[in-house]
Chain A
């Protein structure tokens, strides 16, 4: 199972775009890249998933370079309610291994 590395914490301000990068040098051919969001004392919430290139949905974009050794979650125009921990997971969704995630603080 591929290990992921992401910043422990990030700070931003309301209305800014936030990019969180995750490194996964040992990603396997069959691995997907999935991002989850977690608020305190709540279960994680799925944000976005991708395999290669770019994926966009109503809340975020996921950029994956050709070598797939990293990925970047982009949150456009963050608000205070986006303050949470963001997890990057790589592998088979039948067994998810969680790192410490990135604690994002959005300031007014």
Chain B
């Protein structure tokens, strides 16, 4: 089955720690995205990539980093510089300029 997988489903981070969230897709989509979702707010774009080895900052990129070494993979690192990282993180992919398809999400909690 084609789709998007995210791991882990739940992640706990200690203060000052970097953590990496995994996102893999087998839909052969060129574009991939990372969003953050907080209660009462819409999805906010962190980073996006339209092609391998290229990515752009979204609206809330501070404290996050990404890489796009393979078409199938777009990992997100939440660094210690992100002061309020507790949130639900969603990865998505799309054919250029079309609807985005989402993964199941990772819930990150800072201890």
Partners in one complex: no
Which B positions have Cβ atoms within 8 angstroms of A? none
Which A positions have Cβ atoms within 8 angstroms of B? none
